Structure 1
């Protein structure tokens, strides 16, 4: 086998191996809200903010979720999380929200969890229930601050834009889809099927011990693709080797 052919074979194998290694690296996790979308007229909806710990040495010790003030949310209920204490902050509205039960002058501005820990390679679901969704918008952006035990603060506050690459630290976004048809017995609420659909993906409420990256299906798909490319690289090298030997025999004859 000629020296140049050996180099091509080595390069093909190296390219395939490198592709496998790069593709096998899981995508970086970030704070998300589950479910990520509900009908605009959904009521008494339960959501979970999943917070992964991305630090190899330090634990997450504080989570702050800011609620929008331009599209206010009047009330929230917080599910207890073992080991964590929660605080609900409210703010006075410049323009009251008019309802059949009277005007609402205060809205939720922030929910804070402290006292617990999310250790490295773990995540935690923080569950809340919204009594009503805001009107006049197609999405709700929940800017989130994550504080680690060494004092580092990760600000998940960048709003993703349609058609643009995902920002480095995206904020959790709840999308509000078209309102569902009302039923005869409940003209202001969603149909039973719509309610079931909205709650078809219930969030977990207990402390999770699985790694945040283990359920990243995208990373697994990329890993498989990388393996395929690696195999193709090896096959290409073998074909080149055989051609080289054939060329060598022809020259010597």
Structure 2
């Protein structure tokens, strides 16, 4: 009986840890989020931000994604990296009143919106099995600890989901949280360098590129690795339990023969 209980406990640990690892990747990508890979953007500088958009409608795919940059941020430069099958448009608007940046530059026109629209035959597929990432390069960033990037997700059936709710004071996550990015302290001596692709136009159409697909595969693989590690941990526990029982039986047999 003790042997069976030990084996069952080991198997339960394996299942629990493995499933938790696999589900964790899905939970983390359930909302539209803003992510940074590499150096964190700094106040007054420029930075690359990846908007990760998962599909959640069981019977409709995503065909349009729109991210809003608040006018008070006074972000004068915004560029979208081409995504195969999608067209990108960067919208600039004249500010109601000029805004001075940390460097003292007066901004009268700012990027307020970046929109991606799927070309015919392209979409983030219906169901919850796919997501897409849309990369933007923006700056100069405001002198704030973090910025919010409200997003609107449009499905092919006409449904629009707005990811625009700020986190409440109690820290609980709202139903449709606005994507946010934390900003690092301003770099000493200057306020960050311009992005390497500064020569590109503000509005870029889709072009052959596979970086987002590689990122998607990498993230999916990471989730599977976590789950596999959990299953391996449980399997190891099961083997150790069986060895313990075998050694105990061997000891009892030896004692009886004496």
Provide the TM-score with structure 2 as the length reference.
0.64
Answering whether residue 116 of structure 2 is matched by residue 110 of structure 1, we say no
Does the CA contact (< 8 Å) of 2:43 and 2:186 recur in 1? yes
Match of 1:64 in 2: 66
Say which of 236, 251, 257 aligns to 1:231: 236
Question: 1: CA distance between counterparts of 2:109 and 2:54?
Answer: 31
Distance 1:191 1:96 in 2: 23
> 2:183 corresponds to which residue?
176
Cα 1:167/1:58, change in 2 over 3 Å: same
Gap runs ≥5 in structure 2:
197-207
Residue of structure 2 aligned with 1:124, choices 112, 132, 136: 132
8 Å Cα contact 1:67/1:109 also seen in 2: yes
Partner of 2:205: none
Count matched residues: 233
Partner of 1:15: 12
State the distance in 1 between where 2:169 and 2:223 align. 20
Tell me which residue corresponds to 1:206: 209
* 3-state SS, counterpart of residue 37 of structure 1: coil
1:212 alignment partner, SS class: helix
C-alpha RMSD of matched pairs (Å): 4.4
Q: Residues 44 and 139 of structure 2 are in contact (CA less than 8 Å); yes or no, is this contact kept in structure 1?
A: no
Structure 2 CA distance for partners of 1:226 and 1:42, relative to 1, 3 Å: same
Find the counterpart in structure 2 of residue 86 from structure 1: 88
Q: Distance in 2 between matches of 1:163 and 1:114?
A: 36
**Cα distance, 1:63 vs. partner?**
0.5
Deviation at 1:61, TM superposition (A): 0.7
CA distance in 1, matches of 2:247, 2:233: 21
- Which blocks of at least 5 consecutive residues in structure 1 are unaligned? 183-187, 197-204
Structure 2 CA distance for partners of 1:235 and 1:92, relative to 1, 3 Å? same
Larger % of helix: which?
2
Between the aligned partners of 1:178 and 1:211, the Cα distance in structure 2 is 27
1:96-122 CA-to-partner distances (Å, cap 9, x unmatched) read: 214799854443332222233223644
CA deviation after TM superposition for structure 1 residue 65, in Å = 0.7
CA apart distance, 1:6: 5.6
Q: Is residue 23–residue 219 contact of structure 1 (8 Å, CA) maintained in 2?
A: no
**Selected match of 1:145 from 136, 152, 170:** 152
Deviation at 1:128, TM superposition (A): 3.0
Please report how far the alpha carbon of residue 142 of structure 1 lies from its aligned counterpart in structure 2 after TM superposition: 0.8
Which stretch has the larger CA shift, 101-110 or 69-78?
101-110
Seen in structure 2, the aligned counterparts of structure 1 residues 46 and 243 have a Cα distance that, compared at 3 Å, is closer
Change over 3 Å in CA distance of 1:151–1:11 after alignment to 2 = farther
Alignment check: 8 A CA contact 2:68 2:149 kept: yes
Distance in 2 between residues matched to 1:248 and 1:165, nearest whole Å: 59
